[in-house]
Amino acid sequence: MSFAWRKVAVGVATAGLIVGLSACSQEREPSGDETGGGAAEDTLIGIAMPTKSLERWNRDGSHLEELLQDNGYETTLQYADNKVDQQITQIQNMINQGADVLVIASIDGTALAPVLEDAAAADITVIAYDRLINDTPNVDYYATFDNEKVGTLQGQFIEEALDLKNAAGPFNLEPFAGSPDDNNAKFFFSGAWDVLLPYVEAGKLVVPSGKAPASNDDWASIGIQGWGSDTAQAEMENRLNSFYGGGQKVNVVLSPNDSLALGIAQALEGAGYAPGEGYPVLTGQDADQANVLNMLAGKQSMTVWKDTRALGDQVAKMVDQIVKGETVDVNDEETYDNGNKVVPTYLLDPEVVTPDTVESVLVESGFYKAEDLGL
């Protein structure tokens, strides 16, 4: 598989994503490089990523590593196979190797407090990458896409696709949520459910499986552990087999991301749903290649694209600012309370992609090459 992002100049498509977010910043002390005086040489940056099994984390990891190395940093990039203990061991090793800054996309946002105490004792600055790390004072910055907005965009897409404001309905909805241990999952669900719940309460959307959280706080009851495609597929098959007898059809599936949408589309296919009229509205997030291909084949209605290059660019910049003792860019100092403190955050803007805009957004920005998508 060839990914176009490797070939694209750093920074392409970044500008558009940050429009609308007002920038402000945070002062901090230089990171503890007593001899180097804040130089990139001999400065080790540890990058901890959750898993190689999802396309996006591979992109995230290699792009960030490349940027940091281009800036003269030494790096260690580790993937943890979605295993919390493995990630903790990897972070511990990075601390032992003398890392100056840690960039961590956590698996379980509540499991890292003890190892981050060791990081703090070693005077290491910690950036939470994409996912917030909870219940610890020892996370210095957070960089992510606006997670709540991802869900809002999914909810609004469904609202428009079914014309919920005007149509009488009722439409059959099956909602899904992300992994209960991922701090992002509740934001995705809240953003979508704020749009959709009023229609559920009004009876325009009905949920034959009964798996409709009564409030945003109940989201974990429909969470798919580990964001697994197979788990989502099995859950969707179960719902279709158990609640869709007698010719009843599902009209819309709220899927928080692409890995779930992939499994859900498999289940739909297995149950005889074919692209075209009668195929349900199906949401996603990440613009993974398999899902973009599914969109072009009529098996997924949209994805929320988060340009991982832009996130990497921002984090590389923050690392540089930290090491040089400069002011670190953040643009949100209110939203992301980790249970211990509000973590200064840099938020990027996500964007909806539909089958009609795959070419103009994903290909023209260089995220994919046309041939990656059979275009």
- Give contact residues for ligand BGC (rule: CB under 6 A): 54, 56, 130-131, 182, 184, 227, 257, 259, 285-286
C-beta of 268 vs 348, nearer to ligand BGC: 348
Closest to ligand BGC by CB, 100 vs 181, is 181
Comparison of 87 and 251: residue with beta carbon closer to ligand BGC:
87
Largest CA distance in the chain: 74
Of 57 and 273, nearer to ligand BGC (C-beta) is: 57
Give one word for 312, left, alpha or beta, with left for phi > 0 and alpha for psi -120 to 50. Answer: alpha
- Neighbouring CB atoms inside 10 A of 8's CB total 16
Q: Could you tell me the smallest distance in angstroms from the CB atom of residue 185 to ligand BGC?
A: 7
| Minimum CB–partner distance for residue 341 and ligand BGC (Å) | 21
Residue 20: which residues within 8 A CB-CB, separation 6 or more?
A: 349
Rounded to a whole number of angstroms, the minimum distance from the CB of residue 156 to ligand BGC is 18
At its nearest, how many Å lie between ligand BGC and the CB of residue 311?
Answer: 10
Give the shortest CB-288-to-ligand BGC separation in angstroms: 8
Residues 6+ apart with CB under 8 A from 68: 45, 47, 75, 316, 319
Which one, 33 or 182, has the nearer CB to ligand BGC? Answer: 182
By beta-carbon distance, which residue lies closest to ligand BGC? 257
Nearer to ligand BGC, 54 or 158 (CB): 54
| Least gap, CB of 152 to ligand BGC (angstroms) | 15
Q: C-beta of 197: minimal distance to ligand BGC in Å?
A: 22
Q: Which residue, 213 or 228, has its beta carbon nearer to ligand BGC?
A: 228
- Taking the least distance from each CB to ligand BGC, the nearer of 147 and 209 is 147
187/279 with CB nearer ligand BGC: 187
Least distance in angstroms from the C-beta of 135 to ligand BGC:
17
The whole-angstrom separation of Cα 86 and Cα 84 is 5
* Smallest gap from residue 245 Cβ to ligand BGC (A): 32
